[in-house]
Amino acid sequence: MVKAGNACLLKLEGVSKTYRGGSTKAVDSLSLEVRPGEIFGFLGPNGAGKTTTIKMIVGLLMPDNGRIIVDGHDIVKDPVSAKMRMGFVPDDPNLYNRLTGLEYLNLVADIYGVSAAERTRRINDLLSMFDLTSEVKDLIQSYSHGMKQKLALTGALLHNPPLFILDEPMVGLDPRSSRLFKDLMRSHCDQGYAVFFSTHILEVAERLCDRVGIIDKGKLIACGSMDELRKLSNETDESLEDIFLELTLPEEAD
Amino acid sequence: MKGRLLSLILAQLNMNFAISHSRYYYLEKRQRLWEGILIVVSIIMTALVLSFGVYKLACAFYSQAAIINQEALTLTTGILAAQFLMLILGVALVIAVFYFSNDLPVLIPLPLRPWEVLASKFAVILCNEYLGLLVFITPIFVAYGMRADVSLISYALSAIIVFLTLPVIPIAIASILSVILMRVVGFTKRKDILTIIGGFLLTGLIIGVQLYLQTKLPARGDEQEFIMQMLSQANSLVAVMGRQFPPSIWATWAVSEAGTSMGLLSLCLFLGVGAVSFGLFLALGDRFFYQGVLSGFEAPTSRRGALVDKQGRHGFSKRTPLLSLAVTEMKLFSRTPVFVLNGFIGFLMFPVMFVVLLVMGNDPQMAGLWDSLATMPEFHSIGALLVAAYFFMLTAFSGIPFSPFSREGKANIWFLRSQPISGHAAAMGKALAAEIMIVAGAIPGLAVFEYIARLPIASLIIGVSLGIASSCALCIWGVLLDMARPMLDWTDQQRAIKSNLNTVIGMLIGMVALFLIGYLVYVLFRRGYSGLVAQVISGAIIALILGSGLRVLRVAGDKLWSRVEL
Ligand SMILES: Nc1ncnc2c1ncn2[C@@H]1O[C@H](COP(=O)(O)OP(=O)(O)OP(=O)(O)O)[C@@H](O)[C@H]1O
Ligand SMILES: [Mg+2]
C-alpha cells in the first residue's frame, strides 16, 4: 500500500497555526518526518501544541502556513485521499452514543470501503484481542471510557492504514490492553507502516519509540532517536525524563 | 454574596445565550465581528417585520371585533394562541432541557436541591419564551392599547405583568406532565423509545383536550339565539373562548380592565394560578426529577454474546459510503428522543389538522362548500399543488434539514470531519437521510388528505413528485446552510434542532418561498391559465432551486466542509 519512492509516510513542512482570535501561535513552523516502519513519539508539556498538530495532520484544523503530506497526498489539497491512508483516534474519543459498537464499526468500514470478508476477519480479530466481542452489540452509551477507546482503536485499524495517528492513546487502557496495544503498534510498523502518537508517559516513549519529537510552546525543540537526543544533552546515560525536563524548563527558571 | 440560586440561573442564562462566548469572540477578539453584527441586525429586522405584521393583523381583528362589541377578543385570541402553542411545544422542550442537557453530570454532583436545578432550567426556558412572545404578543397589546379606551399607566403595568407571567402556566403544566412521564419511563428498560412515545402521547393529549373543549361550545341548533345573546353583552365571547383555558380570560381581563377592581381581581387570579402551578411543579420535581435523570444515565446492555458470523452475515454487509452515512444518520436521529419529539411533531400535527378538517367536513354547510370546491374544473390541479405545498411545509417546519451538522455537536463532529469523506458526500448523506425521513413522515397526512380530497391517481403522482422535488431542494439548501455555519456548541439537543438559528432561517425562507410560489400560482389561475401551466411553471421553479443547490454544493461543498473546525 505504501507508495514506492516515498521516503516518508508523514511529512510536515513549516506548519504554523494560530487559533482564530488567538494571539500566540499554538504551533510555530513545525517540520518533521515520519518514515515507514517507525513509531514516532510526540512529547511536550500541557498546552505545547501536540493536539493542535495532530488535528492539522488528520484534517480537523487548517494550517495557516506550511504543508502536510500523508503518504504523498496533501491533506489540504486532497483531503479524502490523505485521510484514506490514515487511522486516527483522538484523546477523548466521543463516539456516537446511540449506535451499537457493531454499527459504528460497519459505518467506518463502509466509509473506507473495506470488503465484507475483510471486515469480518479484522473486526473479529481486533475485538477478541481487546476482549470486546460480547459488548459489541450494545449501545456505545453503555461503554466505559476504556471500552470506547478500544472501539475507536478498532475502528481506526479496520482498513489497515499505512499511518496510524493517536493522541494520548494509553490514558484509558488497562495494563493488559495497554500491553496488547503496544504489541499491535509494533507489528503494524513491521509491515512497513508507521505510528505517530502523543503521550505524557515517558517510559513508554523511551522503550517503544524509534524516534521522538519534543514540542514546547509550538516549536519543535528536539527530534531524533534516543541516542541522538542523549548526544544533544552531552550525557550518555540520561533518561528521556531527564532530557525532557531539561529541555522544557519554564521561562522563569532560565 | 449572590444567592446560589441566582448565580445558578445567571450561569445557565449565560450558557444559553452564549453571552461570554459571543463577547469573547466578537468583542475581545474582534474576529468575524461583521458576521455577528449581520446576524444581530437581520434577527432584529425580521423580528420587526414580523411584529409589524402581527400588529396590522391585530388592528384589523380589533376593527372586526368592535363591530360586534367584542374588542377584548383581540387579546384573548392572542393570549390563547400563545399559551396553547407554548403548551403543545412545551412537552418536547421541557423534556430536552430538563432531562437531556449536557450539564447534568456537572450539576447533579453539586450540593443543590433538585428543585433548584429545575428552577434554574425553568428560568432559561421562560427567557427563551419571552423572546418569541416579544414578537407575537407585544404588538397585540400595543394594538389594543392604542385603540381601546385605557389609562396608559395601569394598562402598561398590567400588560407587562401579564406578559411576564404568560409562559409560566403552560410551561409549568408541560413540566408537571413531563416530570411524571419521565419518572414512569425511568422504571422501564427501553427508555428512549418510551420517552418518544410518551412525549407524543402527552402532546396528543393536550391537543385532544383542546379540541374536546372546543366542541363544548353551544350546540348547533341554538346558534342563532346564542349569538344574539352574545351580541347583547360586551366582550362576552371572551368568556366563551376562554372556556378552553380559563387563565386566558383572566389574563385578558387583567389587561383590558386594567385599573378597575375587576382587572385587579383577574390579575390576582392569573398570578395565583401561575404561582400554584409553578409551586406544584417544583414540589413534584423536587421529589421525582433526579430519579428520572439518573435512570436516564443507565443505558440498556444485553451482552448478546459472541460475534458468531464467520460467513459475513449479521450486519457485515457492505454498503456504499453515501448509503451508510444516510442510514447511520437516520438511526442516530430516530434513537434520540429530543430530535424525534421536535422534528416529527409536524408529521403528526398536520394529519390531526386534516382530521379536524374532515370532521368539520361532515357539517352540511361545510360539505356543501367542499362539494362546490371539488367540482371546480381546476380542483385536481389545485389539489396536486396543495400536496406539493404540504411536503414543502413539512420540510420547512421539521427543522431536520437545517440542523444535521449542528446536531452532531462539538462532541461528535470530529468523527465525520476526520473520515475520508468529501464535503459533497457528507452533505449528500445528510440531505438524503433528511429527505427519506420527511417523505416517510409525510405519508400519514397524505393518506388523510387523499381520503378527504379523493384526487385522481395522476394528480396525486404529480403532486407527490412536485412535493418531493421541492422538499429535496429545501433539504439541499438547508444542509448547505448548516454546513456553512453549524451550531456545534450546545448544552441541550433542543438548541441544536429547534432553537438553532439555522432552523429559524430555514423556516422563514421556506415560508417566503411558499408564499411567492403560491402567489404566482394564484395569479396564473386568475389570468385564466390552466392548472397544467401552473404545475409546469412551479415545477420549473422548483427544478431551478434544486439544480442551483446541487451546483453550489458541488462547487463550494468541500470548501465549506474544511472550514468546519473544532
Ligand atoms: N480550540 C481552541 N481554541 C483556541 N485555542 C486553543 C484551542 N485548543 C487549544 N488551544 C491553545 O493552543 C495551544 C496548544 O494546545 P494543544 O491542545 O495543542 O496542547 P497539547 O500539547 O495537546 O496539550 P495537552 O498535553 O494538555 O493535551 C494552547 O495554548 C491552547 O490554549
Ligand atoms: Mg492534547
Q: Cell 421553479 maps to which residue?
A: B541
**Predicted local confidence at residue B312, as pLDDT:** 44
Does A49 contact ligand 1 (Cβ within 6 A)?
yes
Of B29, B303, B420, the CB nearest to A111: B420
Q: How far is the CA of A219 from the centre of ligand 2 (A)?
A: 15
**Predicted local confidence at residue A80, as pLDDT:** 93
For chain B, the domains span 18-214+232-294, 321-562
**Predicted local confidence at residue B31, as pLDDT:** 63
Of B25, B306, B419, the CB nearest to A21: B25
Smallest CA-to-CA distance from B402 within B330, B510, B543, B323 is with B510
pLDDT band at A254 (very low <50, low <70, confident <90, very high): very low
Which string of DSSP letters, residue by residue, matches B209-220? HHHHHHHTSPPG
Does residue A18 belong to the interface with chain B, where contact is any CB pair within 8 Å?
no
Q: How far is the CA of A50 from the centre of ligand 2 (A)?
A: 6
| Ligand 1 atom with least separation from CA of B566 | 1
Smallest CA-to-CA distance from B474 within B499, B444, B446, B442 is with B442
Three-state DSSP state, B313: coil
Closest chain A residue to the Cα of B423, Cα to Cα: A80
C-alpha cell at A46: 500541557
Domains of chain A, each with CATH number or no CATH: 1-85+161-254 (3.40.50.300), 97-160 (no CATH)
Q: Is the pLDDT higher at B495 or at B476?
A: B476
| Average pLDDT of span B77-84 | 87
Which of A27, A52, A57 to mutate to test ligand 1, by most ligand atoms within 8 A of the CB atom?
A52
CA distance A29 to A14: 4
Q: Is the pLDDT higher at A213 or at A7?
A: A213
pLDDT tens digit string along B271-280? 999 999 999 9
Which string of DSSP letters, residue by residue, matches B374-399? HTSTTHHHHHHHHHHHHHHHHHHHH-
Smallest CA-to-CA distance from B500 within B399, B429, B401, B427 is with B399
The nearest CA of chain A is from the CA of B540 a distance in Å of 35
Q: In sequence order, what are the residues at sequence separation of 6 or more whose Cβ sits closer than 8 angstroms to the Cβ of residue A214?
A: A43, A44, A220, A221, A222, A223, A243, A244, A247, A248
**Predicted local confidence at residue A2, as pLDDT:** 47
Does residue B262 belong to the interface with chain A, where contact is any CB pair within 8 Å?
no
Does residue B21 belong to the interface with chain A, where contact is any CB pair within 8 Å?
no
Three-state DSSP state, A254: coil
Does residue B334 belong to the interface with chain A, where contact is any CB pair within 8 Å?
no
pLDDT tens digit string along B329-374? 999 999 999 999 999 988 887 787 777 666 655 666 666 666 666 6
Counting residues of chain B whose pLDDT is more than 90, the rounded percentage is 44
Do the Cβ atoms of A99 and B324 come within 8 Å? no
Q: In sequence order, what are the residues at sequence separation of 6 or more whose Cβ sits closer than 8 angstroms to the Cβ of residue B503?
A: B399, B402, B403, B497
Closest chain B residue to the Cα of A110, Cα to Cα: B321
Q: What is the CA radius of gyration of chain A?
A: 18
The nearest CA of chain B is from the CA of A85 a distance in Å of 9
Closest CA to ligand 1's atom 2: A19
User: Does B417 have pLDDT greater than 60?
Assistant: yes
Does residue B308 belong to the interface with chain A, where contact is any CB pair within 8 Å?
no
Query: In A96-250, where do the E strands start and end?
Result: 163-167, 194-198, 211-216, 219-224
CA distance B141 to B145: 6
| Ligand 1 atom with least separation from CA of A24 | 29
| Average pLDDT of span A161-187 | 91
Three-state DSSP state, B487: coil
Closest chain A residue to the Cα of B33, Cα to Cα: A21
Of B25, B317, B421, the CB nearest to A111: B421
Q: Which of residues 121-150 of A touch B (CB under 8 A)?
A: 123-124, 127, 133-139, 141-142
CB B221 within 8 A of CB B37: no
CA distance B32 to B36: 7
CB A26 within 8 A of CB A52: yes
| Ligand 1 atom with least separation from CA of A27 | 14
pTM, two decimals, is 0.87
Cα-based distances in Å from B176 to A128, B3, B95, B169, B494:
47, 26, 11, 10, 19
Which of A107, A138, A143, A163 is the best substitution to test chain B (most B C-beta atoms within 10 A)? Answer: A107
- DSSP letter at A100 equals B
Q: In sequence order, what are the residues at sequence separation of 6 or more whose Cβ sits closer than 8 angstroms to the Cβ of residue B54?
A: B135, B136, B139, B140
Q: Which of residues 73-92 of A touch B (CB under 8 A)?
A: 76, 79-84, 88, 90
